[in-house]
């Protein structure tokens, strides 16, 4: 229903439906549906600038709810990315880097976009060596992604010079 309401540009209705899901007691056998609903609601909160509410929902997704949560959970990556995005918007680059690092590891370093965000936040946190390492990994895995070279790699190298 949320997707339909969003397509119809009826965000308040989508938000209200998702808030109802948030009030339902958690059922481990429906973990993915709960996590998906929480992340959709977190997305709406992020768009509305309510970062504290979005952060709580993301943390709820990352908290192991039961032994069934030890199975692969596809929404973990999105939760880590949302947390990184929230920290980045609040200019807490060190914290943002930690969250993007978790997303990067969860994804087995296979996303140019997450690698870019991680390297960018390392750069902003003045962790130049880590930024350069991530840039090299992204360039090696995605040679057609030259933006990272100019935007981050060159600046990180300049940051290392006295």
pLDDT attached to residue 139: 94
Q: Is residue 9 part of a domain?
A: yes
pLDDT attached to residue 68: 47
Q: Is residue 153 part of a domain?
A: no
The domain of 28 spans 1-74
Q: Is residue 33 part of a domain?
A: yes
**Cα gap 24→22, rounded to integer Å:** 6
- pLDDT tens for the chain, 162 residues long, are 555 444 445 567 666 777 777 777 777 788 888 888 888 889 888 988 999 999 998 998 888 654 444 445 667 889 999 999 999 999 999 999 999 999 999 888 999 999 999 999 999 999 999 999 999 999 999 998 888 999 999 999 999 987
Structural domain count, the chain: 1
Q: Is residue 65 part of a domain?
A: yes
In the chain, the DSSP E strands lie at: none
On the 0-12 / 13-18 / 19+ scale of CB atoms within 10 A, 11 is middle
Q: Is residue 86 part of a domain?
A: no
Q: Is residue 120 part of a domain?
A: no
**Cα gap 71→159, rounded to integer Å:** 41
Helix H or strand E segment including 126:
none
pTM of the model: 0.83
Q: Is residue 16 part of a domain?
A: yes
How many residues are given for the chain? 162
**Cα gap 120→117, rounded to integer Å:** 5
Q: Is residue 107 part of a domain?
A: no
């Amino acid at each position: 229903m949320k997707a339909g309401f969003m397509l119809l540009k009826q965000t308040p209705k989508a938000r209200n439906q998702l808030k109802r899901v948030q009030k339902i007691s958690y059922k481990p056998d429906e973990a993915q549906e709960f996590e998906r609903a929480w992340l959709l609601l977190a997305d709406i909160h992020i768009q509305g600038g309510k970062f504290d509410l979005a952060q709580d929902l993301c943390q709820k997704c990352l908290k192991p709810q039961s032994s069934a949560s030890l199975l692969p959970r596809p929404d973990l990556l999105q939760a880590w990315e949302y947390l990184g995005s929230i920290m980045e918007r609040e200019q807490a680059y060190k914290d943002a880097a930690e969250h993007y690092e978790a997303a990067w590891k969860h994804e087995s370093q296979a996303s140019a976009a997450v690698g870019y965000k991680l390297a960018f936040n390392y750069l902003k946190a003045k962790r130049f060596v880590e930024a350069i390492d991530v840039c090299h990994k992204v360039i090696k895995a995605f040679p057609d992604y030259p933006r990272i070279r100019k935007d981050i790699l060159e600046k990180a190298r300049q940051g290392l010079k006295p």
